[in-house]
Chains A and B, each alone.
Chain A
Amino acid sequence: MNLNEREQQAETRPQRPILAARPGALAVGGPLSRRRFLGGAGITAGLAIGAPVLAACGTTKSASGGSSSSGNRKKIGFSQPDTSASIWAPLMAGAQQACKARGYELLESHANSKLDAQLSEIQTWIGEGVGAIVALPLDNNAIIPLIKKAHSAGTKFLDYSDNALPGVDGWVIFDNLQGAKLVGTYAGQWVNKNLGGKAQVALLTHQIQLTGRQRIDGCVKALQALAPGAKVVAQHEGVLSPDTFPAFQSMLQAHPGINVAICIADEGCDGVLRAFMGTHPSQKQISDMFICGFDGSAPVIKAVGSGGPIRATGALDAIGIGKAVIQAAADCIEGKSPTKINFPYNLCTVDTKALNQRLLAEVS
């Protein structure tokens, strides 16, 4: 049926009020009586009023408003949007501790790894007139205009994770190249010792982010410096296990001999491991597999300690970083120093039991 015929049919039928017509109407099936209209309007009004009220009940203290503009200068927005990362909780715990010690209020991210949501929350904080914003940019270029906007509003802006943003007031960054070299060197030593210097390498990457590029490129460089026989045979984007699992399944089909997998983050290591174990490998293949990642998540540190195929992670001291974030931001606001903090990675392997236990205790 074409549109004209539908219109003709509509003309021959009893006309219904516009509100009752699909789609999106409050009521269907018959004329919109006053009772139905009021009922529908009541439901809508109830939802419109109830949803924000319910939402307000569930919000963190970050949403507690009512402060004056000067009061808002005692707030620090920490836009670390990867809230599902296992280091997120200890990171925030460290930030909360430092905030309490220095008399600031912490505003946590609700962006859930979505760029538009991150931009929106940063703009809200700028509008609120917070003292400082520390951001892990999901897209560097998209964040840059907000730095100027923040400065215009008297808000300090700090970079987090990698020093990729121009014109910032400070930063808390991870020494990605140092961490990548640390993990890559260990991988190279392991390949030389266990695989005779030859390996087929797969990369699970996150190329849009500078941290991602630095970790992977640095790791491969360090690996191949020690073991030139290690060749990269497959590469695919994938950070979290739901992404790395199918990607590594397909990689193993193309290259069944893959025996080194470098993940951009620990959150993807388990997906890689599950895909590998899904091929029902022999004991020899299991002992010849090397999987590594970065961040130092609790499951990966445990897996590393157990001596399985996940053999290394470049771990970050999440609580320490959380504290440093607030320290740098508060120093910026108060005109003190240091405002630029560079955090090193720690290498966790089966041989670093004491370090593993300390980090596990923190993360847990």
Chain B
Amino acid sequence: MPRPRLTHGSLHRLGSAQGGGLFVALILLSLYFSAATGSFFTQSNLLVVLEQVSVLGMVAVPGAMLLVSGNLDLSVGSVAGLSAAVFGEFAKVLGWPVLLAAVGAVAVGAAWGVMNGVLISYLGFSPVIVTLGGFAGAAGLAQTITSDVTRSGFGAAFDQLGDGTLAGIPVPVIIFFAVFAVGLYIWYETRVGRHLTAIGANRDAAQALGVASKRLPCTIYILSGMAAALGGLIITAQLDGASVQIGVGLELQVLTAILLGGVAFNGGRGSLWGTLAGILFIGVLDDGLILINVGPYVADLAVGGALVVAAALDVLYQRLEKMPVAESAEAEALETDRPGGRPAALAPPGREGPAVSGVKEAGRG
């Protein structure tokens, strides 16, 4: 009995189904909450949802870039807490102007990113171990610096970062949109996005093709640290309190959103739009379950279930990928419509065939 033959197109469709399927789930979930409570589909509630996911979202953008390149940052939550703590100490203990203290806090996040990037990208340390160490180390450092004392009273101007609005839209949401737009541009419109995917698919092949396989992830680690620090500052502004508890659990939320959105845990495949779906899915679920007054454990259960489904789709994708691929016209077109037979991994992800297939070709070349 002949084995089923797949085309590049069908593989691609399955790959995008993971993120696209989540969008469908998101719509169904939203419809359910709309039917269950009249409070869900209101402008103010949708803004609340966006505001609640804004920090998660701005940290998830570089997080998705790291994961698609085969890297990981588990330290973001603690770095957010550390930045908040450092900001509080700068502003309240050292008496720095708030703006300078905020810049200093973001610089701390960037410095942490530099450390992660150098250790992982240049010295070859394991991303899991280094950032897990950062997860514990940054939290410990924050507690040591602050002695667990929460600083507050940073003034109305700083509060605008968390509570302010522009044209009726909360400032954190605007910042999230800006970060996401920049992320979209980098991911889909520049070589950086393609190169990150190529690094995740096959680091050695990407390096052989001239991709900066050390510098790029290192840079994204720095951006990840800065995004986490900015997130920490936004929460500090929302609460008007620089607590070391800020950012607790953020790393898992970020990873969950990215994986839900279909970015492969081993890298080499994924989309930023899918990540957006993952971010919104978590936000809608958390908000909706509170609206219908269901306990928080149900939210955890639902997110866990969705994550398992996403993982199942990922496994299915990988298994199908190992099956023989038909030499269809579509497949030929994928190989020939690029100048100089450019590998698919170096083409914009999400527009052409699965990146891993492309690197396979690059490896042959």
Contact = CB atoms under 8 A, between A and B. Distances in A.
Nearest to B293: A234
B44 interface: yes
B286 A20 contact: no
B129 A242 contact: no
Interface string B1-42: 000000000000000000000000000000000000101001
A40 B122 CA distance: 12
Contacts of A26: 123-125
Given A6-B202, A22-B203, A245-B238, A253 B287 contact: yes
B150 interface: yes
Given A240-B245, A241-B243, A250-B286, A28 B201 contact: no
Interface string B285-316: 01100111101100000000000000000000
B149 A25 contact: no
Contacts of B251: none
A251 B143 CA distance: 31
A236 interface: yes
Contacts of A22: 124, 126, 203
A283 interface: no
Interface in B256-299: 286-287, 290-293, 295-296
Interface stretch (A84-92, A146-154, A191-199, A333-341): A84-92
Given A24-B129, A253-B42, A274-B238, A235 B293 contact: yes
Contact of B363 (A1, A249, A277): A1
B204 A13 contact: yes
Contacts of A112: 139, 143
B363 A250 contact: no
B163 A274 contact: yes
B294 to A, nearest CB: 9
A38 interface: no
B52 interface: yes
Nearest to B323: A2
Interface string A104-130: 000000001000000000000000000
Interface residues of B, number: 58
Contact of A245 (B214, B239, B359): B239
Given A27-B123, A250-B291, A83 B143 contact: yes
A15 interface: no
A101 to B, nearest CB: 24
B290 A251 contact: yes
Contacts of A4: 322
B239 A274 contact: yes
Nearest to B287: A250
A320 interface: no
Interface residues of A, number: 48
Given A250-B291, A253-B48, A236 B296 contact: yes
Contacts of A25: 124-125
Contacts of A235: 293, 295
B360 interface: yes
Contacts of B235: 242
B51 interface: yes
B241 A58 contact: no
Nearest to B203: A22
B128 interface: yes
Contacts of A2: 318, 321-322
Interface in A240-276: 240-242, 245-247, 249-251, 253-255, 270-271, 274
A58 B144 contact: yes
A84 B148 contact: yes
A249 B126 contact: no
B295 A237 contact: yes
A43 B122 CA distance: 14
Contact of B290 (A1, A13, A247, A278): A247
A282 interface: no
B291 A24 contact: no
A255 B44 CA distance: 13
16 contacts: A1-B201, A1-B360, A22-B126, A27-B124, A28-B123, A43-B123, A84-B150, A89-B149, A236-B296, A242-B248, A249-B51, A250-B48, A250-B290, A254-B292, A274-B239, A277-B163
Interface of A: 1-2, 4-6, 9, 13, 20, 22-29, 40, 43, 58, 83-84, 86, 88-89, 112, 233-237, 240-242, 245-247, 249-251, 253-255, 270-271, 274, 277-278, 299
The 4 closest A-B pairs by CB, nearest first: A24-B126, A28-B124, A250-B290, A23-B126
